[in-house]
Structure 1
Amino acid sequence: MSIICRKAVPEDVEALYELIQDYAAKGIMLPRSKDALSRSIHTFVVVEDQGKLIGCGSLCRLGVDLVEIRSLGIADGYKGKGMGSMLVDALMAEAKEQRIPKVMALTYETAFFQKNGFTVVEKEIFPEKVWTDCVNCPKQNNCDEIAVLRLVEFAPEQLTTDYVQI
């Protein structure tokens, strides 16, 4: 295998759409239109094996100090081989580069996220998420996803007065 993790490019939209639709059909990921993927392609990172897209994930800004990992998925046959962790590492590096101290996700795979340094938290601590997406979700009043949170580690010299280290 020749696995690489990189930022997504417009040519990835079709493969992203197919991967996300597969998860959406199983009810474990929100669907994304090709148009929506094209508009947000700059937020995605992908994993590929010899030119074939086999995984993806994106960061969605929810506030000045909070981003959400979205659309995190790995193609069948590649799960359990570290590709998901590779994507999370890339997304955490992106959050750090953007100087965003908190990264959250809503998931059915809490063990995976805990293995990657996240802690289970109450969804209600993310009003930004509730008002951005949950308000339009068909599962709004019966959400069964679990919220997880990981703080981005900054060196003391990287901190600004804009953020308070938790």
Structure 2
Amino acid sequence: MVTTVTCRKAAESDVDSLYELIQGYAEKGIMLPRSKEALTRHIDSFVVAEEGGRFVGCGSLFRLGNDLVEIRSLGITDGYKGKGIGGLIVKALEEEAREMGIPRVMALTYAVNFFLRCGYEVVQKEIFPEKVWTDCVNCKKRNNCDEIAVLKRLDA
């Protein structure tokens, strides 16, 4: 378990680090790219993980409806994976969802086992028309999506 890592709301000074990390995942085809402009515009939706003041990971929360948010752009810096940082970021994002009064948190992911360890369950992505019409219609994988949908009810 990591004890020296802290999570905080992202600031505009984090945009370059966010961009670099997300772009690295996007180049591998496992995360949607985000422009620096989009990151700046949505900076308030991001949580940043730091160890000793050094950026080591991030994640964001995107509202899809009155009772549903999505965890997206969840990534860990190389050399810091497998240390519990992703779980800390997910917990911070779930707490934010609770504060917003939103009972359901979903993600589309290739890291199914990670989310299962965080208490999520695998579900059919078709139960999220909010996601399909918000993002999937613009995705190049929309007709052949290989990501797995996971869901956690915070009010259960």
TM-score by length of 2: 0.96
**Match of residue 23 from structure 1:** 25
Give structure 1 stretches of 5+ with no counterpart: 154-165
Are 1:110 and 2:117 matched, yes or no?
no
Q: Helix, strand or coil: the match of 1:138?
A: coil
**Match of residue 130 from structure 1:** 132
Q: Helix, strand or coil: the match of 1:112?
A: helix
State the Cα distance separating 1:8 from its structure 2 match.
0.5
Structure 1: which 4+ aligned runs deviate by more than 2 Å? Answer: none
- The residue identity in structure 1 corresponding to 2:69 is V
Q: Distance in 2 between matches of 1:109 and 1:4?
A: 22
**Match of residue 88 from structure 1:** 90
Give structure 2 stretches of 5+ with no counterpart: none
Could you report, residue by residue, the CA deviation over 1:1-29 in whole angstroms, capped at 9, with x for unpaired residues?
84211110110000000000010011000
- The Cα RMSD (Å) is 1.0
Q: Which has the larger radius of gyration?
A: 1
How many residues are aligned here?
Answer: 154
Q: Distance in 1 between matches of 2:15 and 2:52?
A: 17
- The residue identity in structure 1 corresponding to 2:38 is A
**Match of residue 7 from structure 1:** 9
Among the aligned pairs, what percent are the same residue? 66
Q: Distance in 2 between matches of 1:52 and 1:40?
A: 21
State the Cα distance separating 1:107 from its structure 2 match.
0.1
Q: Distance in 2 between matches of 1:41 and 1:100?
A: 20
Q: Distance in 1 between matches of 2:62 and 2:40?
A: 14
- The residue identity in structure 2 corresponding to 1:65 is D
Are 1:77 and 2:79 matched, yes or no?
yes
Q: Distance in 2 between matches of 1:139 and 1:38?
A: 26
Alignment of 1:154-165 (within 5 A): none
- The residue identity in structure 1 corresponding to 2:25 is Y
Q: Helix, strand or coil: the match of 1:141?
A: coil
State the Cα distance separating 1:64 from its structure 2 match.
0.7
TM-score by length of 1: 0.91
Q: Distance in 1 between matches of 2:80 and 2:53?
A: 14
Q: Which moved more, 1:48-57 or 1:23-32?
A: 48-57
Q: Distance in 2 between matches of 1:3 and 1:121?
A: 31
Q: Distance in 2 between matches of 1:56 and 1:104?
A: 16
